[in-house]
Amino acid sequence: MTFPASELVLDKHGRVYHLGLSPQELASKVILVGDQDRVELVSAFFDTVEHRSQHREFVTHTGTYKGKRISVLSSGIGTDNIDIVLNELDALVNIDLEKRETNEQHTSLELVRIGTCGILQADIPVHSYLLSKAAFGLDNVAHFYEIPFSEKETGLKNTICEHLSLPKEVVPYYIGADESLFARFQSGQTHAGITVTSSGFYGPQGRQLNLKTKTTGLNDKLTSFRSEDMRIINFEMESSALFALAKALGHKSTTICLGIANRPKMEFSKGYSAEMNELIQYVLDRI
């Protein structure tokens, strides 16, 4: 199939439309961050940097760290941006952009998100590392695609939904991180569990300023959910779409976040630049 100009959108240099990248500028190990300023924090650890570019909020640096070629790319905030990032990253490695055809040989990317998050368990202190075994998506990006949810994923989604009282308009999904990538980042320094990916930072995460929310008690229910050894550990805003689209496109993904808020304890970090640098080093040494 040949992708028309309206579907595979390229800029006048033949780069993918939003990320502003050409295939040779991307490594197969990709670190995704939300905040564009975090890209520079990551590449500051690189031994060499061969590429730097920015288009809108999508900043990309590609270089090497201890012999490994790595790209670090900012997604901006939200699963809507992840829809763009995953489709365009996949196009860079699996579509011939000149012929506008899918490559015969599939290339699989390793996608590791380094984020910040709100912690949902009182026993996990601010500045801990929270590693996502799976994501419970309160967004709707995955609903637009054919995602190969496993029976276990569908079962866990139903179990969590039975425990919560979500507004009927919210249709969640549950999707696992890649098991091998997850295992590479798990250690005594990480807290592993289910991440809730929200469609907003305020109401969808139970924050109420001047606008009254309809989901009173949601955070307590998320905190109290248990299934065998699994519990819900944190809130952030990208992982569900990342895991779903990565799985459907044949890429590996997981997320590790620095906890900067503890919601049950009503605490927020007073500053986390040193801790974020330590997390970046932790990821680079295992990627």
Residue 235 CB, shortest distance to ligand R1P, in Å, is 8
Query: Which residue number, 249 or 260, has a Cβ lying nearer to ligand URA?
Result: 260
Stretch that binds ligand URA, among 14-22, 37-45, 111-119, 173-181 (CB under 6 A): 111-119
118 binds, among ligand URA, ligand R1P, none (CB under 5 to 8 A by kind): ligand URA
Per CB under 6 A, contacts with ligand URA among 113-172 are 116-118
Q: What is the 3-state secondary structure (H, E, C) of the chain?
A: CECCCCCCCECCCCCECCCCCCHHHCCCEEEEECCCHHHHHHHCCCCEEEEEEEECCEEEEEEEECCEEEEEEECCCCHHHHHHHHHHHHHHHHEECCCCEECCCCCCCEEEEEEEEEECCCCCCCCCEEEEEEEEECCCHHHHCCCCCCHHHHHHHHHHHHHCCCCCCCCCEEEECCHHHHHHHCCCCEEEEEEEECCCCCHHHCCCCCCCCCCCCHHHHHHHCEECCEEEEEEECCHHHHHHHHHHHCCEEEEEEEEEEECCCCEECCCCHHHHHHHHHHHHCCC
Query: Which residue number, 77 or 84, has a Cβ lying nearer to ligand URA?
Result: 77
238 binds, among ligand R1P, ligand URA, none (CB under 5 to 8 A by kind): ligand R1P
Query: Which residue number, 268 or 281, has a Cβ lying nearer to ligand URA?
Result: 268
For residue 102, count other CB atoms closer than 10 A to its CB. 14
Per CB under 6 A, contacts with ligand URA among 197-226 are 201, 205
Q: 174, 173, 170: which is closest to 133 by C-alpha?
A: 174
The answer to whether residue 91 forms part of the interface with ligand URA (CB under 6 A) is no
Instruction: Report d(CA 101, CA 80) in Å as an integer.
Output: 25
Structure tokens belonging to residue 118: 């709100």
Question: Binding marks (x or -) toward ligand URA, 249..278, rule CB under 6 A?
Answer: -----------xx-----------------
Instruction: Report d(CA 162, CA 159) in Å as an integer.
Output: 5
Structure tokens belonging to residue 199: 């469609």
Query: Which residue number, 20 or 204, has a Cβ lying nearer to ligand URA?
Result: 204
Question: Regarding beta strands 68-74 and 58-65, do their DSSP bridges make them parallel or antiparallel, or are they unpaired?
Answer: antiparallel
235 binds, among ligand R1P, ligand URA, none (CB under 5 to 8 A by kind): ligand URA
Query: Which residue number, 8 or 84, has a Cβ lying nearer to ligand R1P?
Result: 84
Stretch that binds ligand URA, among 123-131, 140-148, 216-224, 235-243 (CB under 6 A): 235-243
Residue 242 CB, shortest distance to ligand R1P, in Å, is 10
Per CB under 6 A, contacts with ligand R1P among 167-186 are none
The CB-nearest residue to ligand R1P is 34
Query: Which residue number, 59 or 117, has a Cβ lying nearer to ligand URA?
Result: 117
Residue 282 CB, shortest distance to ligand URA, in Å, is 18
Residue 11 CB, shortest distance to ligand URA, in Å, is 31
- Which residues bind to ligand R1P, rule: CB under 6 A? 33-35, 77, 115-116, 201, 236-238
